[in-house]
A and B are shown apart, each in its own frame.
Chain A
């Protein structure tokens, strides 16, 4: 078996149609961005799944850690006043 170095990993994001966000769909190995783009096209858009592709070196992504879930996201749970349904508006006021 050869000891060659593995090509870097790239994360692939695809915009499925105009007006929608790019969405993560998987990864590819490629030696550079151009090859990552071509491989992403071949692997993830064989059936017109996309109109735009982003490829990002996997090691460039900083991800939140599962153990930080509480400190990051829990503070939002008790702020129900940030939602429109928190407020009672009488019917007479019309559509709001």
Chain B
């Protein structure tokens, strides 16, 4: 759901209420068609703003919640090298969340409001982070598949029509490549290890393959209102297009690792020039998105706890700043 909100209730698009408004909308669409980026203070349709706030805040939440499955493994990393890599990666995820929150705030929604929506369940985040990280191999698989899927999506989003979002995506894509490569490297070392390690690798990929494909959201035929997002160039490629790109890039990498992907229907289609793949279990996707995945409750509860435990620090810092300011005045 990095950049896909098509499973949610569509945002209503109001008809222009005056001639002036119709004119503004026309100028706006012309800019989009001419690939001129939209910047914060400029006029934009209310639904464009709302769609962006929803998509960007959910994207930011995904980054922040995404720290949890990995954070769980920091103390159990098998070497100092792996540990510093994991720490750096998790810090990046936090940073990515902050870039996107910062960009979303330019649309006039406060950070506090976005956080509250996450904590009350009003805003979603990527379904993938509701799956647990059960083995060390998962640290590699998450980098390779989950970050790989995220990159596919985010490269497309870096051409998004909203300037601040597009700039945040460019910055993120640069950093995300490290995430995928360290993951693949981790898996490579397992693939050259003992039988037990190879087994751990295969088992991890078996669990993460389908949820990674789900990250791109429903099939195009089931996301009717993404057409508007495409017209506004908030979305640049359809869910199925991105999913196909990801599958095509990933299958050879799996072969190189010497593992199988858990899909009997996966095969090269000469005619299409793409890999065919099996039907995704959309019922599972719906369940996880709607709060019934293995870790939904834990993820939000952890976020809430960290937020509440940190309240005194925020209050103390605010009190200190006020005191310093008063001193200066006096």
Contacts and interface: CB of A to CB of B under 8 A. Distances in A.
B58 to A, nearest CB: 19
Interface residues of B, number: 31
A7 B98 contact: no
B318 A26 contact: no
Interface in A46-92: 46-47, 63, 65-66
B318 A27 contact: no
B324 A32 contact: yes
B41 A1 contact: no
Interface residues of A, number: 22
Given A28-B102, A47-B175, A35 B112 contact: no
Contacts, number: 56
A26 B116 contact: no
B120 interface: yes
Contact of B98 (A6, A9, A28): A28
Nearest to A49: B171
A26 B99 contact: yes
Contacts of A22: none
Nearest to A6: B112
Contacts of B103: 26
A1 B99 contact: no
Nearest to A1: B116
Contact of A27 (B42, B105, B314, B317): B105
A2 B175 CA distance: 34
